[in-house]
Structure 1
Amino acid sequence: MRSRVTSISITRVEGAPVDGITERVSSWAQAAAVLRRWSESVARDGGYDKCKFAIEWANGATYRGRYDLVNWRDVEPDLARHVRELAYFYTSRQAPKHMSPAVYGAFLEMHQTKVITLQYEKLLDSNDLGVDCHPPIQGKEVESESVGRFRYANERERQANA
C-alpha cells in the first residue's frame, strides 16, 4: 500500500489578489480546490501564475516543486496530475503530446540520470499520487537523426541489471 499524503503546502508566488498567501491542506482534493479557487483570477488563454508547493507523506517522503496555475476554464487545476506527469516523464512512462518519440528519447538521453529516475520510481512506488496504478515503462527502440539509435534509458538499465 502506498503512503498517504499528510500535508500539502501551496504558496501563490504571483497573481493578485492572493500573491504571497500560503494554504496548507491534507489531501489531493483539497489542494485541487485551493488551486481552482485561485485560478479564477488568472488571465485566460495563455496566462499563468507561479505557485510553489511542498508535499509530505506519512512515510516521511517529501516533494517540492513549482506549479504553473492557469485559469480553470483553460485547464482544470490538479496538483497530483502535475506530480504524476513529471514522474512519468522522467521514468520513460509517458512522453508529452508535443514530443515525438525520437525527440523524447533524445531529451532523456541528454538529461535523465539514474539518480533522477530512481527518485521518481521510488515516488511512484511508495507514495499516493491520486491514482491506483501507473503506466508501464516505454521500452521500445527509437531512432533519431541527431543522436542515432538508442533505447530509453530505463530499458537499457533494466537490461544491464537483468
Structure 2
Amino acid sequence: MGLNRFSSLAGTLMIYAMVLSESWWSCHGCLDEERSALLRIQSSFNYPIFLQSWGEVADCCSWEGVGCNFTTGRVVYLDLSGIREEGLGDLYLNVSLFRPFQELQSLHLSGNFIVGCVENEGFERLSGLDSLVELYLDENKFDNNILSSLGGLSSLISLSLSGNQLKGAISVDGN
C-alpha cells in the first residue's frame, strides 16, 4: 500500500515537473522589456513596411531577424540588415535602443543608409553588453567619426565596417 501511494505521488510529481520544465524551457516570447525595445527599434527606422510581421504574435523569438536563447528567453541575435530603402534618406541611429538586450551576441545593421548616431547615443552606449561579439555595420555611410564610439566595445571579436566612407589610415591599437 505504501508503495502504491509512493508510485502515485512520483507520477504526479513527474507530470508537474514536465509541465514546469516545458514552461521554463520553451520560448513563449522574449522578455517584455526586449519585446518593447524591438518595437521601438522598428519605429526608429522610419520605414512602416519593414518587418511588418513584428508584433503580430507575442513570441518575438519567432519574429524575422530575431534569435533568442531558448533557456533564458533573451534576444541573442538581431539581424536588421538591408531593411531600409535608399529613398528614405539617411538615418541617425539611436544606439541606446539596443541596451535592453543584455545577452545580445550578434548585431547586424548593414545596408541601412546609417550616416551616424543621434547625439550622445553612439556605439559607446553598448559597452555594457558584455556578450556582444559580432557587430556588422557594412554598406552604410559611416565616416571616421564612428571609430571613437567603438573603442569601448571590448567584447567584440568581429567588427565589419566595409563599404562605408572611412578615409585614410586607421589604427586599431588606439595610437
Identify whether the pair has TM-score above 0.5, normalized to the shorter chain: no
More strand by share: 1
TM-score where L is the length of structure 1: 0.30
Greater relative contact order (Cα < 8 A, sep 6+): 1
Larger Rg belongs to: 2
